[in-house]
Structures are given as structure tokens and as C-alpha cells.
Structure 1
Amino acid sequence: MPQWSDYTTGERIKILRGKSIKQTDLAEMTGLSLPTVQQAEQDKRLTLQTLMKVAAAFGVDTSVILGQQAPRRAMEQSDRAMMRALSRAVHDTAVGILPDEDGDPATLEELGEITSRCWELYWAGCYVEAGAIAGPFVRAAATRVREQPVGEQGAAWGVLSDAYRIAGYVANLMGSRDLAYAAIGQSQAAAQRASDDLRQALVMSGRAWVYLRDARLAEALDLAEKAALDIEPRFSRATKEQLVAYGSHVNFAAVVASRMGNKELVADYLSQSHATGARMGGERRAHGTVFGPVSATTQAVGINVAMGSTGKALTLINGLRGDELETLSGAARNRYAMDKALAYADAKMWDPALDVLEETLTGSPGWGRHQALPSVIVQKIGKASTARLRRVSELIGVSPTGVSGFPPATRKTAL
């Protein structure tokens, strides 16, 4: 399997350009002549000036063009532009650099509507769109804090905490770990300024998710457990909103425990998750998250797959009805589909695994570009070298015999 450094500089430029950007487009984006772009891709001539302009157009560091570090998986031009703008918004507002407002700053009510819209996009799996709104949202929320009278800033700090948390979630999912840490840190500081215990617990859980994706499992579990404990409601008088927050927190704690192989802890948290879902009676959205009995069951499927309990996972899958899954958000439904496909693959049920994988990736191509699990499933199916396996592999940009986001190193044609 070729590594990013195995390609020539010209091949790396072609790969980053992809199918959606033509050479003439790249020339216009960089201000370079078409012959200059062609010479760079043919490894005939690449000056420092050309290198810097090409890197800026793709939104990557020059070291990526030169092969010193690999680009983040599945990042397209629009993704990189969004992440660059989001990073600037987070870092600028963190040091107090705010835009000059031509008109009145957004009201708390307007910012609340933006919060809801961002979460809707996020849970629908529209991560680039959510991130594109999150950048201006962070700036607007920070401006609202500045404009609020002293002593009346609590609610504004709360909204700013939400804005940073959304930015952190998008960055974490897109693989920008440094930005995720920075955004979630700012979210935590804003939640503390808001004196909002629930928001602080939500941010704590978000930080645990960043730790999980950074393989800091022990720290992730500590935070996840503390977040769940801090908001554990008394079920007899808990509101649906409190149950949503608590259920999603214990679900996540079960996920982290499963990554550590702690079966006893996993069973305990899954039991609490199912009990909370049963108490709610249906799916509910609150505080930027979604939870209910179906969420509890679908999460249990993924956890059992991760723990190697394929039989338990398949039993849970067989007990779920299609109409129940429709109550989930788009992203949660797609994630469950991947867990389902992986369970089928583990059971060597190749055709059902490919059925689920192809249907999901065809229906949600934008979501699929930012997921690693489809590649894992294709690799598991591996030797089943069918036309459909090749078709599914093309949807996620991998080779049927190995996982790679790039074409074979011997391929010389423009992508």
C-alpha cells in the first residue's frame, strides 16, 4: 500500500486537485498560468512561489505538497476552506479579535436560533455546512458577550460556549485535533463564565470525545464518568431534557469503556442507558444531542461489535424495526448502518454487509467522506472480489484489497 510520501510532488498535486478541480481551475485559483500548473504536475518545474500558491489554494501546509506529512482523509477543497475559516474564528475570538459591526449585533434570541440550526446540520451529517455556519456564529456570539451589560452576560457566555462546542465537534470529526482541543477549551471557559453546571458537563463530555479520538482512553473515561455523574438526575422528577443529557452521557461512557475492554463497566453503563431510554419513551433532542430508547439500542449494537460480541449485536439488530430507526437523526442512522454492516462482515455475511454499506454511502456521500469505518468494513470483506465490492470501494476511495484514500502509486493519469 503506497504511502503519501511515495508519490511524486506532481502526483500529490493531482491527487489534491481531485476530479472536481481542473487544471484550468487551479490556475485561476492560484493566479498561475496553465503551463506552470501543468509543469508542476509533470514534475518538470516547481518554484517556491508556485509551491506556496498551490498550497494556499488547497488550504494545506507546503509540507503536504512535498510529502512530508499526509493530508487529512477525504478533505476536499470546500472542506479545507471551511476548516481554515473556522480555525481563524476560534483563534481570533479567543484573543479578543472581533469584527467591527456595521449594524446591531445579533440578539440572544437570534443566536439561539443559529445554535439550533447548527445542531440540525450536524446531526443530519452535514458537517461542512455546520462548520461553515459555526465560524461566523463564534464571532457573533463573542460580539454579543462584549456588548452585554456587565452583570448580565451569563446567557451570552452560555451561547458562546455552545458555539465553541459546535466548532470543536466539527473539528474533531474532520480530524483537526489541535483545533478541536482549542475550541473545546474555549467552550469550557465560557461555560464556567456562564455559571451553567449542565453546560459544563456537556463540554466535559465533548472533551472526552476529543480524548477518545486522540487515543487518550483512560482520560476520556475519567471525564465521561465525571460528566455523567455530575448531571445524574433523580428519575422521579427529571425532565425529558435532563434525561437526554444524562442518557447520551452514559451512552458515551459505555463507548469509552468498550474501547478499554472493560466489559463489567460497559454492562453497567448500557443498563443505565436502556433504563433512561425506557423512562423517556421516545427520542428527544436537547442541548445539542439526541437520545431515547432507539439511540440506546443502536449504540449498544456498536458497542457489542467493538467488544467482539457479534451474536449480541445481531440479536439487537434483528429486534429493531425500520420505523423506529426513522426517529434517529441522519448521522445517527448512518452510524448505526455502519455498525450493522460491520456486524454482518464479522459474521462473514458478505452480501448483507455490502447491501447496507452501498445503500448508506450512496444515500449520504457527504457523510461517508468523513468516516473511517467504511474502509474498515471493506477491508474485512477483502477477498470477496466482486463487482459490487469494487463499486463500494470507489464510493469511499479505497482499494478492495487494502485501505487507502489514494490511487495506486503507479497510476500516472490526472485524477
Structure 2
Amino acid sequence: MSSAGQNVKTVRKRRGLTQRELAEASGVSLSTIRKLEQADRDGARLETLRKLAVALGVPTMRLAGAPGIEEADPITADRWAGVRDALERPPLASGLDDGPPTVAGVRASLDDAMPLFTGDQLAHLSVLLPPLLRDADALGPEGRTVRVRLLQLAGWLMVQTRQFSAAETALERALSESVDRMESAATINTLLWLLLRQGQLSKAHDLSVRWADETEPRISRATPEELSTWGWMLLRLSAAAIRNGQPGEADDAIKLASAAAVALGREYTPGNDFLRRFGPTTVKLKAAENAAVTDRPDLVLRLAERIPLAGLRSTSNNRNRHILDVADAYAKTGQYADAFGKLEQIREGSPEWLPNQRYARDILTKLIKSRRTLTVEMRSMADAVGLPL
């Protein structure tokens, strides 16, 4: 029996509930609970465990044990093999005809590549990053700043594509070379996202609490970068808490993040780092995400009406995730055409991002179940998100 299934069964019996009663209380199907407890399923979705935990009155991680983690598929892993190799092995010696890399040259190459990062141009990045990482490694101590930034971005991409071990390698390397609190916090922000995606909620919670305490500024004197950094630690704390069945703590963290955003008064991007863009709109996006996690589709749609997306780039950290939350809310409220329209919106703006999103596959699965026959567009979308029919 899987540890998650054993934990569910143990807590359910302590509560004096039958499997059917737990299904009714949680909204999880009886067949899913039976398969989980009988170990017919290899672990369970974090969303499923959260619903069961709420019904049983325990934190999600009390049930999770060692949750199954969906890693990258073989095609994705093969595409990024060069990046993983560059992260984990020392730089290659320069050829006889190669001049040594320079800090200015590597920085210029990274600046030129930024539109690829902000536009989720994954195919191009998988080719460009290996030599750029090796050049950055060859710079020595004088290339520390550009190397840290490149490692942060590489770690983010590895999280994005579910290559978690490589992501941890990149982020640990970036953290080891960071020399000030703000630089370290930028790496910790992505590391927290890695932990959340792995389902390590308790670890993410504790780390975000620590860094929120360490970066909390005096608001009346805080710089925009300090407010942005603290705000993101609070948003990560809220994300960990809401997923671990601690809605009160999640709400408190969102309120504090909102205070930081109000003090900023606008969306702010420290050092032109799109991963740390923070402000009132970002907080609203994450509040809607919390509503989605706790299965409140009506609230997601109400909040979405007040979120201005026109000025936001189609970055996977914020805007695209929010559009998926809205699509899911439409699907759960029976507005299937609107839900499919949101998936099409993401595919049009970020076609290389979408296949890495299990969330998108789950939403499309709901839409397909609502149909007797599939349209050509639905079959095309299934191919786009990697959903076998």
C-alpha cells in the first residue's frame, strides 16, 4: 500500500468514517478513495489529498507521505539533456581557435536571450543555454553576478519543464555564489516554487516563513526592491499554507503581501527581472489562485473580473497560470466553451509552455467528458497539451 493510501485509511478510520462517508464529505469519488487505499493508484494528486485532508481535519502533508511527482516526459528530458549536462559537469576546455569568454560578452549574450525567456521560447533556449552556461562557468570569480543570474534562469526553466533534480542543482549553485540578501532571495523565490511543485509543502512553508521574517522591511522606509522581495516571500507562504490546509495563515500572508503591494502602488520589476514582478495585480492573481486551489470557482471568476491582464506579459509564472485558473473555474461551472477559449488563448500566446502543464490536461479532460463527440479543435488541443485520446 502506498504511504498516502495508508495515511488516508488510518486517519479515516480514526475519524470513524466509511469510504463512502469520506467521499461525500470531501467531494472525491468513492472509486478514487478505494483505489488509493488499495494501492491500485501510485500515490495521488496533491489536489485530491488536499480535499481529503480538509474533510478529515488534518494538514495535507499528514496524508501525503511521499507524494508521487510527475517528472518530465522522455522527449522533454532528451531535449534538455545538454542543459543538465552543463549544470552538472565542469566547463569544457576551449578549443585552439576559441578565445576565452569575457564577462561583457556573456552578459551581452544573456541580455540578447532575455526575450526568449520572457516569451517561453523553450526550443531555442534548450540549444542556447548549454554553451552559455559553460562560458559563464569559465569566467571565474569575476563572472559571479552574471553566472548567478544565468543559474537562476536555468533553475526556473528546469522547474518549468519538471526536471526537478537539475533545477535543484542550478538553484543551489546560484545560492552558493550569492553575496547579498536580495540576490539570495531571488534564488529562494524560485526554490520555493520548486518545493511547491514537488509537493514539499511543509518544507516550502517553513522556508518561506524564515525568509519572510528575514526580508521584512520597515514599510515607511522600504525600497521598491525590498517590498517586492518581501511580498513574494509572503505569496509563497500563502501558496504553501493554502495547499497544506491552513487557510487562515494563507489569508494572513495574502493580506500582508497586499500591504506591501499597496505601499509600492504599482507593478514593479526589480532589476528588470520578470520573475520577480510584484504589485497589486500580482497579489490579486495569487488570491485567485488560492481560490482555485480551494475549489471555489465562483470566487475565481469574481476575482478575475477585477484583474487587469492587458498590461501583463504572457509569462508562465503569473498571467498564464491565472488564465488556467479561470479556464478551470469555467469548466467547473459548466461554461465549457469559455473554458476552451481560455486554453486556446494560452496556446496562441505561449504554445511551448502549454505542453508542460498537467493542469491544462486536467482541464481539457473535464471538457472532453462533457462531450459525446470531440471537435477537430478539441483533438488539436489534446495533441497540444499531450493528452492521449
Q: TM-score, normalised by structure 2?
A: 0.72
Q: Any idea what the Cα deviations from partners look like across 1:51-96, whole Å, max 9, x if unmatched?
A: xxxxxxxxxxxxxxxxxxx9834x65xx555411101111123xx6
Q: Give the match's secondary structure for 1:304.
A: helix
- Asked if residue 136 in structure 1 is aligned to residue 131 in structure 2, the reply is yes
Deviation at 1:304, TM superposition (A): 0.9
Distance in 2 separating the partners of 1:71 and 1:184? 18
Indicate whether 1:215 and 2:211 are aligned: no
- Relative distance call for 1:218 and 1:239 in structure 2 (3 A) is same
User: In terms of mean alpha carbon deviation, does 342-351 or 281-290 score higher?
Assistant: 281-290
Q: How many residues align?
A: 315
Q: What does residue 106 of structure 1 align with?
A: 102
Measure, in 1, the Cα distance between the counterparts of 2:245 and 2:186.
24
1:237 to partner: Cα distance: 2.3
Q: Return the alpha-carbon distance in structure 1 between the equivalents of residues 259 and 280 of structure 2.
A: 8
Query: What's the counterpart of residue 254 of structure 2?
Result: 270
Note closer, same or farther for the CA distance 1:71–1:167 as it changes in structure 2 (3 Å cut): closer
**Identity rate of aligned residues, in percent?**
21
Displacement, 1:125?
2.2
Amino acid at match of 1:212: L
Which residue, 114, 117, 126 being the options, matches 2:121? Answer: 126
Unpaired segments ≥5 residues, structure 2: 1-69
Partner of 1:284: 268
User: Is 1:165 aligned to 2:152, yes or no?
Assistant: yes
- Structure 1 residue 281, shift from structure 2 partner: 2.4
Deviation at 1:119, TM superposition (A): 4.9
Deviations 1:112-153 (A, max 9, x none): 4444455543332223333433322322222112xx5xxxx4
**TM-score where L is the length of structure 1:** 0.68
Does the C-alpha gap of structure 1 residues 404 and 139 become closer, same or farther in structure 2, counting only changes over 3 Å? closer
- Which amino acid in 1 is paired with 2:128? I
What are the within-5 Å matches in structure 2 for residues 141-160 of structure 1? 141-145=136-140, 148=141, 153=142, 156-160=143-147
Q: Which moved more, 1:198-207 or 1:300-309?
A: 198-207
SS at match of 1:308: coil
Do residues 309 (structure 1) and 296 (structure 2) align? yes
Distance in structure 1 (CA, Å) of the matches to 2:229 and 2:374: 41
Matched, 1:325 2:315: no
Mapped pair 1:296 → 2:283 = yes
Closer/same/farther in 2, CA of residues 122 and 313 from structure 1, 3 Å limit: same
Q: Is the 8 A contact 1:304 1:313 kept in 2?
A: yes
- Asked if 1:241 is matched to 2:225, the reply is yes
Q: Which runs of 5+ in 1 are unaligned?
A: 1-69, 408-415
CA RMSD of aligned residues (A): 2.8
Number of the residue aligned with 1:177 = 164
Structure 1 distance, partners of 2:286, 2:257, is 9
Question: Which residue of 1 is the match for residue 361 of structure 2?
Answer: 375
Deviations 1:202-242 (A, max 9, x none): 22232222222222111121122223322222222222222
Matches of 1:245 and 1:326 in 2, distance apart? 21
Shift of 1:259: 1.4
The residue number in structure 1 matching 2:55 is none
Q: CA 1:71 to 1:234, structure 2 compared with 1: closer, same or farther past 3 Å?
A: closer
Greater relative CO, 1 or 2 (CA 8 Å, sep 6+): 1
Task: For residue 368 of structure 1, report the CA deviation from its aligned partner.
Answer: 1.1
Match of 2:85 among 84, 88, 109: 88
